[in-house]
Structure 1
Amino acid sequence: MAIVGQKRYDIEGIQVGQPITIHANGKEIKTAINKRRIYEPVYLNRLNFEGDGQGDLVHHGGYDKAICVFPYDHYDYFEQFLGVPLQEAAFGENLTVHQLVETKVCIGDVFQLGEALVEVSQPRQPCVKLSLKHGNMKLVKEVQQTGYTGFYLRVLKEGMVSPDEPLVLVEKASHQITVHEVNEVKYHQADPQRLKAVLEVEALADAVRKSLEKRIHHI
């Protein structure tokens, strides 16, 4: 990795939420996608911000998915797509950030977040709960097709985080594999070379790696 200058990305908000049970399509679904903004400093541990939780621990949460990040830059696009104004944490994210979009951030980039250190681990994989939240079953596919997925951070060092502190890039990955590139090989046709390049990234989350390793045998 390369040590870089103090590139800062402003945070629109930090959000947390605990699981609740909702009813959809005749089923009970446990979800923590509805999050509230916090305005006081909060402790970030290896698994999440204090006060945050996950409804489905099989597909959400864990060390590689400690923080869900979504770029505020995409809100305008999805307001047009959904036809309504979007509220805070509209995508169930913990961090809403400015200018840190999927084409810029690489798997393995390391950021200072308050006292904590965090590392980009994988794209966010949208699930049906996002569509249910907005009452539009086409939303998940639109997120996948556009690549406007957001991404996850793992926590390298725990610490206190204040909502008014920026996300500061401290180490840039030595490769060029962005979150966008991982989305491309995951959701679109990928040639073996592109797929192998993604799989060579050491910081890539194990769950994503295993999923892509299965794909490589079918190309």
Structure 2
Amino acid sequence: MKPLNNFTEIISKNFISCKNYLYKNYGENPGKMLVHTGVLGWILSSAAQVAAVVFNDKISAKEKMFLIPQECADAAVNILSFYIVTNTFKAIGSKLVSTGKLSTPNIRKYIQKAGLEDKVGKVTTDIKKDMTGAIRQEYTDFKSGVDVITSTVGSIISCNLITPVLRNQYAASKQKEILAKRNLQKDNPEQIERPRILMPLSMADYQKLASLKFSGGNMKV
């Protein structure tokens, strides 16, 4: 039973370590977790899409040479646009809260008591710096909620508006390149050498060639 107990202890320790790591990095910042899990989801879905092309025997090697780079480019557009847009929305929401521009009634009262009214909205302002007790906990909860909302809005805009537009632009540019190559081939068609039809030799031609061959052997240079 000892090996089994040791195994369960290892699993328990790893689970506790993972839980502590998640709480430390995402406990007070759930918006950050939304961004990271969204990026991870895009990476996995993009990898599955590329793998579906690579391991599909019904797709020819020539088509794969075109489809695989296109799928990789689409994956890069999806991942980058999601991360940049979603993280930007989250950062804007966090900055509005930390500078006091966006707050609750209780937080506004704290700002007035602390004499921070003149610093509200400035980039370098951090109203949480000297907070303690219940007001700090309210600030943390409020900021977490704002992060979740702004991250969700950013992900919706990225997935439904920005990413499709960028992918369509990329697809249109690649289509133009392909059409340009085809038009160039039509304007400058390759000269195909026609097969030559050899006429059969007559008896007179054969005798002439034979005489030239034997006489050529007696020539002196």
Same-fold status (TM-score > 0.5): no
Which TM bucket (shorter chain)?
under 0.3
Q: Which has the higher helix share?
A: 2
Q: Which has the higher strand share?
A: 1
Under a length normalisation based on structure 2, what TM-score does the superposition of the two structures give? 0.21
Under a length normalisation based on structure 1, what TM-score does the superposition of the two structures give? 0.21
